[in-house]
A and B are shown apart, each in its own frame.
Chain A
Amino acid sequence: MLKLEGVETWYGAIQAIKGISLDVSQGEIVALLGANGAGKSTTIKTITGLLKATKGRIEFMGKDITEMEAEDIAEIGIACVPEGRHIFPGLTVMDNLLLGTTPRKRDSKGDIQKDLDHFFEIFPQLQEFKESLGWQLSGGQQQMLAIGRGLMSGSKLLLMDEPSLGLAPIMVQEVFRVIKEINKAGTTILLVEQNARMALLIANRGFVLETGKVMLADTAANLLANEEMKAHYLGAHAHVKEARQRRRSKAEGR
């Protein structure tokens, strides 16, 4: 469904992604993992068109979208739940959801109403907050709303950037339950996460990024069992251990 080949992107003066290739097939949940600064968010921004790739190719459902503008990419069926949620703070929950339907030019009001009802089935807690303004919601509620807004676009592919960020553990549980549910209902998901373990528990496959490149790519099950994973996150690689010995002996030698 989605394919990236050798994509490179610059973020200001830094080359944030240095040749990334990955793919997402229909119906999957694919996790995009890596430490802070590894390039995960930049990858998402490049796919959605907010950043432009300087090299490489992005393909969606067979179509080359590398040069497309963000507004157009939204219309062809890629929706995004961005990092930090970005709920419109001055608009109500309903308004946020309705704005999510912007790309659906041809659908009838009836269809949209059906999807709205469906949304409140998945997130019953938000029913009473229908007319509340965005800034009044808690972090967890905002996350639910952001996901719902993404769903309202009727898109086939949903990009989610760090949905668990800043949420209490119990909300994190909720969020991942919901992600599984919407995937079962037919939405393909590319999930960027800091919480690698939780992500891999619901994902089919995963890609691990480090300093702008793909370091590991495997099924979720294999990644969970992988020792190198721990190293990537709490990086004490072998050669680093040597350097540490050197310093220790230097200090002791004084």
Chain B
Amino acid sequence: MNTSMKRLLVPAVLVVAVLILPRLVTSNYWMDLINLSISFAVACLGLNIVLGYAGQLSLAQAAFWGVGAYSSAILTTQFGLPVWAGMFAAFFVAAFFGILLGIPTLKLSGHYLAMATIGFGIILQLILVNAIWLTKGSDGITKIPSPWIGSFELKAPGDFYYVAAVSLILFTWGAINLKDSRVGRAFMAIRENEMAAGTSGVDTTYYKIMAFALSAGYAGFGGWLFAHSCSHYISPDTFSFDQSVILLVMAVLGGNGSAIGSIVGATLLTMLPEMLRFLKDSYMMFYAAGIVVIMIFMPSGIAGLVKSMPVGLRLRIWWNADSTAARQVAAAASILKSPDAALPATFSACLGSNQVLLTVKGLAKYFGGLRAVDGVDMEVRRGEIQALIGPNGSGKTTILNMLSGLYIPTAGEITLEGTSITRQKPHIITAHGVARTFQNIRLFGELSVLDNVLIGQHGRSKASLAASIFQPASQRAEEAAMRTKAMEVLEFVGLRGKEFSQANSLPYGRQRMLELARALVSDPQLLLLDEPAAGLNAAETEALVELLFQICDRGITILLVEHDMSLVMNVSDHITVLNFGKKIAEGSAEEVEHNQEVIDAYLGREVSNA
């Protein structure tokens, strides 16, 4: 089956499904259920974005669903606005509340975040109950109108179905597009490793709020679907914490991070209670027991199960074989001729130019009484490889963290080419041209090798949320260019052919190379490496050394922290030695090697027995 036929397959199936279904389902009851499932599915898709993509546990999704339902219900019943206007209101009012939730919870994660979202949801529900003048309180709002197309009222469930189905298709399409786009990757980077996302150039604050707003908007739209179909009646009881839990279970059952999974989960858990009617009261118990069992045995949900089955695997490979990504990667690979042609050699005869790139003055970091860094002055010259060494606890990593914006210095100034970068946020420092790797490898583990490197280019690309969802030609061109560049860097570090492997699955040494690639792809002026040789064997270390020389040849300045002395002595043009947070020596490798104070600090001073 060639590509163009494959491309037409999905839309064809969808068209058929949308048109045929109402003819197969004759009872209004089941049609109502389908509409209800779709309403939940859209809300679930939203949850999938904030939780599955961005990793933020939100237990307020039902509240946003309610806000959407109520916004539209109020506007259409009390103010007589057309239902389509209510649709926009539902989405945007809910999104606004999503922003309201996102802002105060930025610094929270895990249980604290979950708790805060629960609280937010409960407060919203209480407002719905008590603002009687607006929402009619517990009585709820009745006689919510159906939408009209021209002179045709979509009153019957079978008619409303078309609206619901088309909306579902559009919202799903958006969610799927989002996953493989700049914004989607930013979300996933935050989920996988927020710290590394920041240093790779992602403005985590902005994107977290965006995730909340977008997912709330989705939920709001789902609420609109709910209000204007089914019983045409809403009351606050429906939008409770329990409902948020149900939405969460739907999302996780379907498979966290899978858009199609969300639809499957939502449909299953809407239909199931009806089909299991015979269980009567014990239904909820089975449901709950099922949740526990699924968490123990199937934590990746249905999507995960399908992916791991051989059938699912083959289906995926067949489907992805001709995908845009694969074609672009293949195209880029054919352009690369030899390793030397990989990166344009921007030879700047910098070595020996003595031009200062980075200046550090009086840098200090105190953690309470602990003086991790205690007044350090340093200079890094353009084009050189400088090493920062010292025994455990001497402050090396703390300095790197301050240089990359992860710690705020207690005192001191950091200047990059005349611009002060002290106290700046990590993604801004990255934009200035500083990239780093981490001591404990911070890759975006569940993402592919290629995606890891693409995220590294986040700061050098532009696609907005709208562009990421609708994917106009300009966005697709940008993606293609990014992929080409990613391929070049992967070739450079020796990871060609592994583009679609999961980052986690790489052997340790290759993971280090990937982290290096991610840092390089952002076109940095200064590369900060935190123990790049840790855990590498002799052969891998030698390969690393070669790579470092080549990076330097391309005009990139390197500051590295290392314990492997053979690497340091071999590679560095200049060495700075720290001990107890202070600089005790600096100079060339020979000078440092023979410095008595350095020898004492490392080998240990012979303390005289008093």
Residues of A bordering B, CB below 8 Å: 13-14, 35-37, 164-166, 169-170, 172-173, 176-177, 193-199, 201, 211, 229-230, 233-237, 240, 243-244, 247, 251, 254
Contacts and interface: CB of A to CB of B under 8 A. Distances in A.
Contact of A165 (B349, B393, B549, B589): B393
Given A176-B607, A195-B603, A244-B570, 17 more contacts: A14-B508, A14-B535, A35-B564, A35-B565, A36-B392, A36-B563, A194-B391, A196-B603, A198-B607, A199-B604, A234-B599, A234-B602, A234-B603, A235-B569, A236-B569, A247-B549, A254-B351
A209 B415 CA distance: 40
B545 interface: yes
A169 B605 contact: yes
Contacts of B549: 247
Contact of A197 (B571, B589, B603, B610): B603
Contact of A237 (B563, B566, B604, B606): B566
B418 interface: no
A194 B563 contact: no
B566 A235 contact: yes
A236 B606 contact: no
Nearest to B607: A173
B593 interface: yes
Given A230-B599, A240-B570, A35 B508 contact: no
B4 interface: no
> Which are the 7 A-B pairs with shortest beta-carbon distances?
A195-B604, A235-B565, A235-B566, A197-B604, A36-B563, A14-B535, A236-B569
Contacts of B589: 236, 244
A251 B352 contact: yes
B2 interface: no
Contacts of A176: 607
A125 to B, nearest CB: 16
Contacts of B563: 35-37
B609 interface: yes
A233 B610 contact: no
B534 interface: yes
B593 A251 contact: no
Interface in B559-583: 563-566, 569-571
A233 B508 contact: no
B597 to A, nearest CB: 12
A234 B545 contact: no
B593 A234 contact: yes
A235 B483 CA distance: 40
A35 B567 CA distance: 13
B150 interface: no
Interface residues of B, number: 34
A195 B393 CA distance: 13
A35 B389 CA distance: 13
B565 A236 contact: yes
B344 interface: no
A198 B604 CA distance: 7
A173 B393 CA distance: 19
B110 interface: no
B310 interface: no
A164 B603 CA distance: 13
14 contacts: A13-B507, A13-B508, A35-B563, A37-B534, A166-B392, A172-B607, A195-B603, A195-B605, A197-B605, A198-B605, A230-B599, A234-B593, A234-B598, A240-B569
Contacts of A169: 605, 607
B537 interface: yes
A84 B507 CA distance: 30
Given A37-B534, A243-B545, A230 B565 contact: no
A234 B568 CA distance: 9
B565 A233 contact: yes
B393 A166 contact: yes
Contacts of A172: 607
B260 to A, nearest CB: 32
Contacts of B511: 13
A235 B571 CA distance: 12
Contacts of A170: 607
A88 to B, nearest CB: 20
Contacts of B603: 195-197, 229-230, 233-234
B221 to A, nearest CB: 43
Given A14-B508, A234-B593, A240-B570, A194 B392 contact: yes
A243 B570 contact: yes
Contacts of A254: 349, 351
Nearest to B351: A251
A230 B569 CA distance: 14
Contacts of B349: 254
B535 A236 contact: no
Interface string B350-374: 0110000000000000000000000
Contact of B565 (A195, A201, A234): A234
Given A169-B605, A244-B570, A37 B535 contact: yes
B265 to A, nearest CB: 33
Interface string B480-513: 0000000000000000000000000001100100
B564 to A, nearest CB: 7
Interface string B430-456: 000000000000000000000000000
A252 B599 CA distance: 29
Contacts of A197: 603-606
Nearest to B606: A197
A235 B604 CA distance: 16
A196 B565 contact: no
Contacts of B605: 169, 195, 197-198
A201 B603 CA distance: 12
A238 to B, nearest CB: 11
A169 B507 CA distance: 41
B609 A173 contact: yes
Contacts of A234: 565, 569, 593, 598-599, 602-603
B605 to A, nearest CB: 7
Contacts of B545: 243
Nearest to B508: A13
A177 B609 CA distance: 9
Given A173-B607, A233-B602, A165 B392 contact: yes
A236 B575 CA distance: 14
